[in-house]
Structure 1
C-alpha cells in the first residue's frame, strides 16, 4: 500500500509510482489469468444458440458468457493501476495460456494406460486446444493492448471523468481487434464451421462482448471506486511508454 493513502484517491502520474506496492493488484492479476485460462479451455470451441424475438435462433460462441469479464478486469487494471501494470498482467496471461497449450498437447499425446477408456473423450475436449489457443493468444495479445492503450489515452482526454465512455470505447476497439483475429484463425476451414458461420459468429461475438461491457458498467464503477479508495490513488498515464514489448513496470 502507498504510504498516506486516504479514502479519497489522489491523482498520480504513472511515471512517479516506481515500484510501489498495492493491496489488491496481485488479486486482480490472479482473477484475470484464471478467467482467461478457463474461457479458453471450457468455452471457446462450442457454438451455442439463443432464440431471439423476430430473428429466431442465433449462434454464438459459448465462451462469450465469461471471457468478457477478463476485459472488464483489464479495464479495471488500466484505470486503477495504469497501463504499465496492466501490460505486466497481459504478459502474465500470455505466458499462462502458452503453457496451458503446451501442457494440453503433452497430456493428450501421452500414451494412455491399456485399461483407461477415456482417451477419445479427452482428445475431443483438449485435442483442438493448440489451434484455438494460438488464435486466442494472438487475439488476446493484440486486443488487450488495444483496449488498455485506448482506455489510458481516453482517461487523459476526459481528465479522468466519464469512466463509462472509456470502458465502453476501449472495449469497442479492443474486442473488434480480438474477434477479427480470433475467429478466422481458430475456425476458418475447421470441421463444422462454414465461412459464413465464422463471419456471423465473429460479428455476433463482438456485439455481445460490447453489450456485456455496457451491462457490467455499474459493476466496473463499483470495483474501480473500491480499489481507488483502498489504494488511495487515481493513475494517469501522461508520460507512459506505451510499447507492448516489455513487462517491467
Structure 2
C-alpha cells in the first residue's frame, strides 16, 4: 500500500502524456513533452523514500499502463491512420522502460551525495536515453523494416535543425526540441523534489 500513491501518480502521468502527445505545442513539440518528465520525478521520489526495488515496481506499473495505452491507440483510427503505429508503440515502451530503469540505477549509485545530485544526474541521463531510443525507433528511415507498412517519410523530410541549423531529418529536430524540454524540466523538478520529499518524510515520521 505504501507504493500506491507512486503507482497512481506514474499511471496518471503515462495516461496524460499519451493523450497530450496528440496535441501540438508550437512547431516542434506536443503538450505531452511537458507532462512526461513527471515520470522521472515520481521514480526519483520513490527511490529516495523506499529504495531502488520499490522504484522499479513503480516503473513496471507505468510500463504496463503505457502498453495498455499503446494498444488502445493502435485501434483508434485518425485522419492519417492509427493514432499509434506499432513502431511508436515499440519505441515508446522500450524507451520508457530503459530510461526509467537506468534512472533508478544512476540515482541509487549517487544517493549518498548532495541531495540534488542523484535526481539531477539520473533524470538527465534517463531523459537523454529516452529521447534517443524513442525517436530513433519510431521515425528513423533506417529502421523502416520494423513496420514496412508504416510510411515515416514525413518524419525524414530534410529541413534545417529547429528551423535554423544544419539540414537534418525532421525527426531529429523533434527529438532535440523534446530533449531540450526534458533538460529544462530536470532542473526545475529539483524544487518539487525537495518540497515533496520534505512533506512525505514529515508524514512518515
Q: TM-score, normalised by structure 1?
A: 0.66
Distance in 2 between the 1:185 and 1:69 partners?
A: 22
Counterpart pick for 1:193 among 155, 160, 164 = 155
Higher relative contact order at CA 8 Å, sep ≥6: structure 1 or structure 2?
1
Query: Does residue 69 of the first structure (1) align with residue 17 of the second (2)?
Result: no
Let me know the Cα RMSD of the aligned residues: 2.2
Larger radius of gyration: 1
Deviation per CA, 1:192-224: give whole Å up to 9, x if none: 212522222222322220211211211110111
Distance in 2 between the 1:59 and 1:127 partners?
A: 21
Count of residues in correspondence between the two structures? 183
1:178 aligns to what?
A: 130
Query: Does residue 221 of the first structure (1) align with residue 194 of the second (2)?
Result: yes
Distance in 2 between the 1:82 and 1:93 partners?
A: 17
Deviation per CA, 1:94-120: give whole Å up to 9, x if none: 112212223344x44xxxxxxxxxxxx
Deviation per CA, 1:135-167: give whole Å up to 9, x if none: 1100000000111111111003x1xxx221111
2:88 aligns to what?
A: 132
Counterpart pick for 1:92 among 52, 61, 67 = 61
Query: Does residue 80 of the first structure (1) align with residue 49 of the second (2)?
Result: yes
Question: Does the Cα contact within 8 Å between 2:107 and 2:118 map onto a contact in 1?
Answer: yes
Q: Which runs of 5+ in 1 are unaligned?
A: 1-20, 50-57, 109-121, 233-249
Q: Which runs of 5+ in 2 are unaligned?
A: 142-151, 157-167
1:47, distance to aligned residue in structure 2 (A) = 5.0
Q: TM-score, normalised by structure 2?
A: 0.80
* Residue 124 to residue 185, structure 1, CA distance change in 2 (3 Å): farther
- Normalized per residue, the structure richer in helix is 2
